[in-house]
Structure 1
Amino acid sequence: MPTIPSSSAQAAREALAGRLKEIRRDAGLTGGDLAVRCGWHKAKSSRIENAKTTPSDADIRAWCAACGADDQAADIIAANRAVESMYVQWRRVHKQKTLRHLQEGLVPLYERTKLHRVYSSDVIPGLLQTEGYVTAALASVAWLRDLPDDIPEAVAARLARARVLREGDHRFVMVIEENVLRHQMGDEETMAGQLGHLLSVMSLPSVSLGIIPFKSRRLLWPVETFNVYDDEQVSVELLTASVTVTAPGEVRDYLKLFAELQKRAVYGAQARSLIAAAIEALG
């Protein structure tokens, strides 16, 4: 996935406007024809197509219905709603919230999610992190983004939200790359403790942890770490921003990829063997 520029909200508006324009053209309609069918002035069609006016949910439904494309309305509405929130720069977020606030802010989402899927290509998933690992990871974030030092509070907040692993009827399906086990976060003792914790947490009835071995045949190159909350929302973390995906068609793409990644992973005794090898490699 390429890095999305800071002007992505406007770019997304333009892309959505272009999609509506294509639907109209595919239906063989002019802007005037569409306006008549929708019962509005033709200038409104032009403003929407040129991203000058943001369409409402009702506008999109009327547009798609007029063009015989009702099946596309749900995706377009979801994309339209997500324009402002789909790309959030970390530096802008941290002007308003500390690291601790960000950890606490995820709790409601975690609590209402019944099936939480995680793919990680670079780091141990947050819900499975130990105190030492979290401390080292958040220290790196604070350094990169020049943040105030509230790391102890942020660590406590992240560890506290991990209670969802043991509470309620949540399920967690996690797939990580084998190299995640070898990326040393903190010192050897910290990393050994983290890997040992993985061996322990794998026994929880709510957790399924799969590891994609180095030697696994690739269907696709490793992508950015992402979280899927039920079948409704995907969160992708980039170096400088967080991307939220809610359009049903795009969410389905992530679910399709995740299902394939699950097939490439090993579980149970084979996964434990990879973790044990990583511990041994620490010396």
Structure 2
Amino acid sequence: MSTDYQQAREALGLELRRLRLTAADGRLTGLELAARAGWPSSSKVTKLELGKQTPTPQDLRAWTDAVGHPEAYEPCLARLRGFESQIRSWKRQLAQGHRPVQAAHNAAQTKAKVLRAWESSWVVGILQTPGYARAILRHFAALHGSKRDDIEDAVAARMERQRLLYEPGRQYHIVMSESVLRHLVCPPADLAAQLSYLSGVIGLKSVELGIVPFSASLRLPPAAGFWIYDDRQVVTETWHAELWLDDDVTVATYLKVWKTLRESAVYGADAQNVINAAMRALNGQ
């Protein structure tokens, strides 16, 4: 978890503690507040105040009502939304389902005109085929114990994103490692369909697709994938959360990384040759 995120959570915890100590009808103990909020013990109160647990909007409502300061709910919620807009926990996102996550990415890409991406683990979402996307989403649903059965809706939403490839005035600059073409993250038949689709992408006017071959010299290690929207916002993933970052220094760093990795990529016919080699290797298995 990032230092900025943790500091923001601790600051919200201090505000919650202040509200408890200045309750409308007198200072409350943790046990008293927990009882009023309908929580089984005071451990949740302690975790929230120390910034060891992220409150939900429902937690904030229960807290501000319990201390007799309902007017404090909106300011506390604004703080929560502020740091959650940058670091979006998978657990909390997927509690609402997989389709809303895809819808958020669709909306972000719709607003952007120049989109840059780097990926070394899997094919970027906008270039995925249904079978490949379905496999990826199922893997992540299993990892995070998602109980929302909306994988097919999420696949459909991810496929909807591909219409952006054909809208005028938008340009995608996508660089991926050759490893993306080789990882069996889906059944072989689905990977074969995915590789075939990527071959066709090379001819799209809106997409500049670069592949970094295994044989290429790298000035930086591949590391995690990311998107840069209009050189103003970065979206990257960790195993526990998505990071949506927009401060100038961070964006400049990711842009420098992207440009450095791009120097090792091949394009056009050379990229096609790398894809064809991956298809031959797959067929030979």
TM-score, normalised via structure 1 length: 0.71
- Structural RMSD (CA): 1.8
Alignment gaps of 5+ in structure 1: 15-80
Q: Which amino acid aligns with 1:224?
A: A
Query: Quick one: structure 1 residues 265 and 120, their matched pair in 2 at CA, closer, same or farther if it must change by over 3 Å?
Result: same
Q: Secondary structure at the match of 1:242?
A: strand
Q: Compute the displacement of 1:186 (Å).
A: 1.6
Contact 2:220 2:260 in 1 (8 A): no
Cα deviations by residue, 1:112-171 (Å, 9 ceiling, x for unpaired): 100010100101010000011011111111111111221111111110111100113110
Aligned: 1:228 with 2:243: no
Q: Which moved more, 1:124-133 or 1:238-247?
A: 238-247
Q: Which amino acid aligns with 2:122?
A: V
CA distance in structure 2 between the aligned counterparts of 1:227 and 1:199, rounded to whole angstroms: 21
Runs of 4+ in 1 over 4 A off after TM superposition: 81-84
Q: Report 1:69-80 matches (<5 A).
A: none
In the alignment, which residue of structure 2 is the partner of 1:24?
none
In the alignment, which residue of structure 2 is the partner of 1:107?
106
Residue identity over aligned pairs, in percent, reads: 38
Aligned: 1:214 with 2:220: no
Q: Which moved more, 1:147-156 or 1:273-282?
A: 147-156
CA distance in structure 1 between the aligned counterparts of 2:251 and 2:8, rounded to whole angstroms: 17
In the alignment, which residue of structure 1 is the partner of 2:194?
194
Q: Compute the displacement of 1:226 (Å).
A: 0.3
In the alignment, which residue of structure 1 is the partner of 2:178?
178
CA distance in structure 1 between the aligned counterparts of 2:136 and 2:4, rounded to whole angstroms: 28
Q: Which amino acid aligns with 2:119?
A: S
CA distance in structure 2 between the aligned counterparts of 1:130 and 1:94, rounded to whole angstroms: 22
In the alignment, which residue of structure 2 is the partner of 1:271?
271
Tell which has more relative contact order, 1 or 2 (C-alpha 8 A, sep 6+). 1
In the alignment, which residue of structure 2 is the partner of 1:29?
none
In the alignment, which residue of structure 1 is the partner of 2:138?
139
Contact 1:178 1:214 in 2 (8 A): yes
CA distance in structure 1 between the aligned counterparts of 2:209 and 2:149, rounded to whole angstroms: 32
Contact 1:232 1:248 in 2 (8 A): yes
Q: Report 1:12-27 matches (<5 A).
A: none
**Aligned mate of 1:10, from 3, 6, 16:** 6
CA distance in structure 1 between the aligned counterparts of 2:209 and 2:246, rounded to whole angstroms: 25
Contact 1:142 1:149 in 2 (8 A): no
CA distance in structure 2 between the aligned counterparts of 1:205 and 1:86, rounded to whole angstroms: 32
Alignment gaps of 5+ in structure 2: 11-80
TM-score, normalised via structure 2 length: 0.71
CA distance in structure 1 between the aligned counterparts of 2:82 and 2:114, rounded to whole angstroms: 22
CA distance in structure 2 between the aligned counterparts of 1:223 and 1:13, rounded to whole angstroms: 28
Cα deviations by residue, 1:181-222 (Å, 9 ceiling, x for unpaired): 100122111100000000001111000000111111121111
Q: Compute the displacement of 1:84 (Å).
A: 4.4
In the alignment, which residue of structure 2 is the partner of 1:52?
none
Q: Which amino acid aligns with 1:137?
A: I
In the alignment, which residue of structure 1 is the partner of 2:118?
119
Aligned residues: 212
Contact 1:8 1:87 in 2 (8 A): no
